[in-house]
Amino acid sequence: MKEYKEKLKTTRVILAIAVLILFAFTVLSVLSECGVIHFAPVAGDGHWQSRWRGFICGASVGIGAMILVGLIRISKAMGDEKELKKLYVKENDERQRQIYISARSLAMQIFVIFGLVAGIVVGYFNVTVSITVLACVTIHSLIGLMCKLYYSRKY
């Protein structure tokens, strides 16, 4: 349990850093929208840049909130031995792990199939987007293949 507690301490530090970085992006996008500083995408007109800053702000706040909930959960578990054991069991449950692995495998297959179909269909409207989608599917498939080779040698 001591090793698990050390792992949670490291995780807590990483999550705290992530929250601070996301908070910085939120502040930058708000200050930029108010005209205090210039923080905008390279391309596009003022309307597009304003929407993009809004997206950055919203995504940063949303992701930061989810990370903050995890950070609070870990901090709470670090102070209570019962909660720590409960969290350990939850993270190391073999049934949940197998469900997660099966779901990720199916999600990868679905992503590849829909990505290929989307790449073909979008090709009739925009070649650049079609090649980008097909490149994403190819990279995703290659990473999946590399992981499969790695784990087949490991186990």
Model confidence over 54-110: pLDDT tens digits? 898 999 999 999 999 999 999 998 888 898 898 888 888 899 889 988 999 999 999
Give tens-digit pLDDT for 16-61. 999 999 999 999 988 988 888 887 766 777 788 888 888 989 999 9
User: How far apart are the C-alpha atoms of 9 and 138, rounded to whole Å?
Assistant: 37
- Residue 53 is encoded by which pair of tokens? 């800053």
Stated pTM of the model: 0.68
End-to-end CA distance of the chain: 25
Domain residue ranges in the chain:
1-92, 94-155
The phi, psi pair for 126, rounded to 5°, reads -155, 115
Cα three-residue angle 91-95-101, rounded to 5 degrees: 80
The phi, psi pair for 95, rounded to 5°, reads -65, -45
| Among 59, 60, 72, 64, CA closest to 11 | 72
